[in-house]
């Protein structure tokens, strides 16, 4: 997989160029063409988007504007071809800002412009890379970091530390990199964030085969990143961290690992980074008898490929994000499929969810590779602040099904989609959610949900389950369904952070005992009495509706690297977040989450822990997390 390739020369005719532009959004197209050719006059005011509403597929661009923009882009690419295919020099910062303001359709504040320039990386400059190295600091001091996990977060942490010349060692319990994209292999598994956003800002590629990549493609991407960045030699595969203990005497982390043979080893690190993620340990449902069933049974995250579902009587328990992807696949092969639903998901209309990239778009990505970067920030902008107000609670609004007028308007849009998809009144009643939009994660849908439940061999059951029996599933009303196979699509132990390893901090304090099921961390990364321990994808760093988790991981990696720099420059051996800083931050997060749909609604969701507290979600803007993680504030920490 190639990263940030050079543009291929254009040899196509004017007609062929015009045909290639027919299926691409025009704001990122014009921005990319302007940067490639140096002709920024094409960013005309009359072609500027007038709205960035995420649920408006036109984004405020009329058909006439789109036609004119594509014609102008084609003419500009034709002149570029005729002039010899010579790319223009990279635009300066002010030109990038003006181009982004064209794309956004509005002026942007300085911090947002800087953030977008980082995200863009249009000139091949990785602006989030460390601006220092251990050798450059010339402290004469060594510093070694242990990283737990070689998934998406572990890869970017290792890459950034390596760029700074910091020695690191990665421990990965699996036999390869990829994390959740290695472990989840169920049929239909794919990402629900567009490719150009669900990828590293500094490692864009033109080789995505679809708009939303499947699990094998994403796994190949992260494997390619590990190879390209030279990380693989520093990874100990099939090696699991079982214990991490902070030494008060020596100010180091003593880490115990177990390799694939069962052998135990001890390692010592100056700092420790947990990149174990949240969506990797399956959660079985709290239903009596789950071990009693005599047939084949497994969780979707541990898909049993040896079980042939063809012609079988299959039960699927759960209709969350993962289940929504494999239910249609199972429905095509099972003799009879019964889906047991506790809470229906909100479906987000996404016509291109399973589609290959059009030939024209693939041509553009090869010949105007900057399109991938501009499309990334286009997605970012449209999913940024636009969605957050739609999830905010209006305390004067009185409705059990929505949390504000704006939220209710979104509900109305979604409901119309359900009416069109499910004309059967009984099925419509079963599938339409009764909770506010944004209270649970959306499920992307291109019509396959309706096609699946319209099949003669597929049945939807919404009645309560009493227990699992040897033969199948017994219901509260006394009926029993018999099956050959039961598949659990019941999610993950998302609130069980850093399990099953033991972590002990200052004075031997046990992290899990201290949390007692209420995981908290400052900025989702640091915890009082656990010096030099950094979490990635920690508590309250999940992005619900307005972004890609890779964005958060990149910012966390920068914060961690800058923390190492602070320790080295100040001659400190440890940094320990002040309890009052940690506690005030978490009070603010908790208060803000209660003012969002996911915190106000009573619906069951993986965002909440057993006590009902939101342990997952970041309730503020993406800009604020960027602002707070550019550099660690030494006043937030006790430096020793």
Query: What is the secondary structure of 496-533 as a DSSP string?
Result: -TT-SSEEE-GGG-BHHHHHTT----BTTTB-TT-TTE
pLDDT of residue 242: 97
The pLDDT of residue 54: 44
For 198-207, the pLDDT digits (tens) are 999 999 888 9
List, in sequence order, every beta strand (DSSP E) within 181-274.
235-236, 239-247, 252-259, 264-269, 271-274
- Distant-in-sequence, close-in-space partners of 8: CB < 8 Å, separation ≥ 6: 366, 367
* Residue 456's CATH number: 3.50.50.60
Q: Last residue of a domain, which of 488, 521, 538?
A: 488
Beta bridge pairs of residue 266: 256
User: Quick check: is 498 in a domain?
Assistant: yes
Report the run of H or E that residue 104 belongs to, with start and end.
helix 93-104
Q: Please tell me the predicted confidence (pLDDT) of residue 495.
A: 73
Q: Is residue 440 part of a domain?
A: yes
Strands 472-475 and 443-445: unpaired
The token pair at 166 is 């910091």
Q: Which is nearest to 141 in space by CA: 560, 640, 558, 572? A: 572
User: Which segments within 185-335 are labelled E, that is strand?
Assistant: 235-236, 239-247, 252-259, 264-269, 271-274, 296-299, 313-317
pLDDT at 51: 57
- Interatomic CA distance for residues 310 and 324, integer angstroms: 19
CA 182 – CA 173 distance, rounded (Å)? 11
- Residues 522 and 289: their CA atoms lie apart, in Å, by 40
Same domain? For 116 and 36 the reply is: yes
C-alpha–C-alpha distance, residues 370 and 558, integer Å: 24
CB 458 within 8 A of CB 337: yes
Distances (CA, A) of 380 to 210, 387, 449: 19, 11, 27
User: DSSP string covering 553-589, please?
Assistant: HHHHHHHHHHHHHHHHHTT-S-EEE-HHHHHHHHHHH
Is residue 4 included in any domain, yes or no? Answer: no
Residue 218 lies in a domain: no
CA–chain centroid gap for 44, Å, is 34
Q: Are residues 405 and 552 located together in one domain of the fold?
A: no
What values do phi and psi take at 273, rounded to 5? -115, 120
Structure tokens at 548: 């890609």
- Secondary structure element (H or E) that encloses residue 215, with its range: helix 215-228
Identify whether residues 258 and 407 lie together within a single domain: no
Claim to verify: residue 550 and residue 418 sit in the same structural domain: no
Distances (CA, A) of 401 to 421, 436, 545: 20, 5, 18
Same domain, yes or no: 468 and 612: no
Determine, yes or no, domain membership for 552. yes
Selection from 580, 564, 581, 561 nearest residue 572 by Cα? 564
Question: How big is the chain, counted in residues?
Answer: 640
Residues 92 and 173 in one domain: no
Specify which residues 356 forms β-bridges with.
210
The pLDDT of residue 384 is: 67
Domain check: are 478 and 500 in the same one? no
153 located within any domain: yes
| Domain carrying residue 419 | 296-352+399-488
Q: Where do we find the tokens 């390619």? A: 224
522 and 480 part of one domain: no
Q: Does the pTM exceed 0.85?
A: yes
Q: Are 187 and 168 in contact (CB under 8 A)?
A: no
Please check whether residue 617 lies inside any domain of the structure.
Answer: yes
Number of domains the chain contains: 3
CB-based contacts of 19, cutoff 8 Å, min separation 6: 360
The alpha carbons of the chain give a radius of gyration, in whole angstroms, of: 25
Contacts of 50 (CB under 8 A, 6+ apart): 60, 61, 105
Listed as ranges, residues in the chain with pLDDT below 70 are 51-59, 384-385, 546
CA distances from 284 to 277, 344, 397 (A): 18, 18, 37
Residues 585 and 516 in one domain: yes
Q: Which residues contact 78 (CB under 8 A, 6 or more apart)?
A: 14, 17
Q: What is the pLDDT of residue 234?
A: 98
Read off the tokens for 165.
């010349």
Domain end: 465, 488, 511, which one? 488
Nearest to 178 by CA among 167, 169, 188, 170: 170
**3-class SS of residue 190:** strand
Residues sharing a CB contact under 8 Å with residue 106, sequence separation 6 or more, in sequence order? none
**Is residue 195 one of the residues assigned to a domain?**
no
Beta 485-488 vs 296-299: how paired, if at all? parallel
How far is Cα 292 from Cα 333, in angstroms, rounded to an integer? 25
Helices vs strands, H then E, count in the chain:
21, 21
Name the pairing type of β-strands 465-468 and 235-236. unpaired
For the purposes of burial, counting CB atoms within 10 Å of the CB of 135, is it exposed (0-12), middle (13-18) or buried (19 or more)? exposed
276 and 160 co-located in one domain: yes
Using the CB atoms, write b or e for 3-35: b if 16+ within 10 Å.
Answer: bbeebeebebeeeebbebbeebbbbbbbbbbbb
Where residue 133 falls (left for φ over 0; alpha for ψ -120 to 50; beta otherwise) is: beta
Q: Same domain for 426 and 505?
A: no
* Last residue within a domain, chosen from 456, 473, 488: 488
The pLDDT tens digits of the residues spanning 440-465 come to: 989 999 999 999 999 999 999 999 99
My answer on whether 376 and 424 are in the same domain is no
């Amino acid at each position: 997989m190639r990263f940030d390739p050079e543009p291929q020369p254009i040899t196509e005719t004017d007609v062929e160029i015009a045909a290639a532009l027919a299926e691409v959004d025009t704001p990122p197209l014009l921005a990319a063409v302007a940067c490639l050719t140096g002709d920024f006059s094409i960013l005309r005011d009359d072609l500027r988007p007038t709205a960035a509403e995420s649920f408006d597929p036109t984004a405020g661009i009329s058909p006439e504007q789109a036609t004119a923009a594509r014609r102008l882009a084609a003419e500009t690419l034709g002149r570029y071809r005729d002039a010899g295919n010579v790319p223009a020099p990279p635009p300066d910062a002010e030109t990038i800002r003006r181009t982004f303001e064209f794309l956004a359709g509005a002026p942007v504040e300085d911090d947002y412009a800087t953030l977008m320039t980082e995200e863009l990386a249009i000139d091949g400059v990785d602006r989030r890379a460390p601006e220092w190295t251990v050798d450059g600091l010339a402290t004469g001091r060594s510093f070694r970091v242990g990283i737990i996990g070689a998934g998406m977060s572990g890869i970017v942490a290792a890459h950034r530390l390596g760029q700074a010349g910091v020695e690191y060692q990665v421990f990965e319990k699996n036999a390869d990199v990829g994390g959740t994209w290695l472990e989840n292999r169920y049929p239909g598994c794919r990402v629900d964030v567009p490719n150009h956003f669900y990828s590293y800002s500094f490692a864009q590629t033109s080789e995505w085969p679809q708009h939303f990549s499947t699990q094998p493609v994403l796994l190949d991407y992260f494997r390619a990143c590990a190879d390209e960045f030279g990380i693989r030699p520093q990874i100990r595969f099939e090696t699991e961290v079982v214990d991490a203990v902070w030494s008060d005497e020596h100010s180091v982390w003593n880490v115990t690992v177990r390799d694939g043979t069962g052998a135990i080893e001890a390692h010592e690190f100056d700092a420790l980074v947990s990149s174990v993620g949240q969506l990797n340990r399956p959660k079985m449902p709290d239903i009596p008898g789950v071990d009693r069933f005599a047939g084949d049974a497994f969780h979707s995250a541990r898909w049993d490929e040896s079980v042939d579902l063809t012609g079988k009587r299959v039960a699927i328990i759960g209709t969350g994000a993962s289940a929504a992807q494999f239910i249609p696949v199972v429905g095509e092969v099972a003799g009879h499929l019964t889906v047991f639903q506790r809470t229906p998901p909100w479906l987000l209309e996404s016509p291109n969810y399973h589609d290959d990239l059009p030939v024209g778009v693939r041509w553009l990505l090869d010949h105007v590779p900057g399109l991938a970067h501009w499309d990334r920030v286009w997605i970012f902008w449209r999913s940024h602040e636009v969605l957050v107000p739609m999830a905010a609670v209006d305390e004067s609004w009185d409705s059990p099904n929505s949390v504000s007028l704006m939220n209710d308007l979104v509900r109305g849009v979604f409901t119309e989609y359900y009416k069109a998809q499910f004309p059967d009144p009984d099925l419509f009643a079963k599938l339409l959610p009764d909770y506010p939009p944004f209270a649970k994660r959306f499920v992307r849908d291109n019509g396959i949900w309706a096609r699946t439940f319209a099949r003669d061999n597929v049945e939807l059951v919404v009645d309560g389950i009493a227990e699992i029996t040897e033969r199948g599933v017994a219901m509260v009303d006394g009926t029993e369904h018999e099956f050959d196979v039961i598949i659990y699509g019941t999610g993950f132990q998302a609130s069980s952070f850093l399990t099953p390893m033991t972590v002990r901090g200052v004075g031997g304090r046990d992290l899990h005992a201290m949390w007692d099921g209420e995981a908290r961390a400052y900025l989702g990364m640091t915890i009082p009495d656990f010096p030099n321990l950094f979490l990635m994808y920690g508590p309250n760093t999940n992005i619900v509706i307005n972004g890609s988790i890779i964005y958060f991981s990149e910012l966390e990696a920068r914060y961690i690297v800058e923390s190492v720099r602070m320790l080295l420059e100040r001659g400190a051996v440890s940094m320990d977040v002040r309890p009052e800083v940690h506690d005030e931050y978490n009070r603010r997060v908790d208060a803000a989450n209660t003012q969002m749909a996911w915190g106000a609604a009573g619906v069951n969701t993986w965002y909440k822990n057993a006590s009902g507290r939101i342990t997952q979600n970041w309730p503020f803007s993406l800009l604020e997390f960027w602002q707070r993680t550019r550099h660690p504030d030494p006043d937030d920490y006790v430096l020793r």
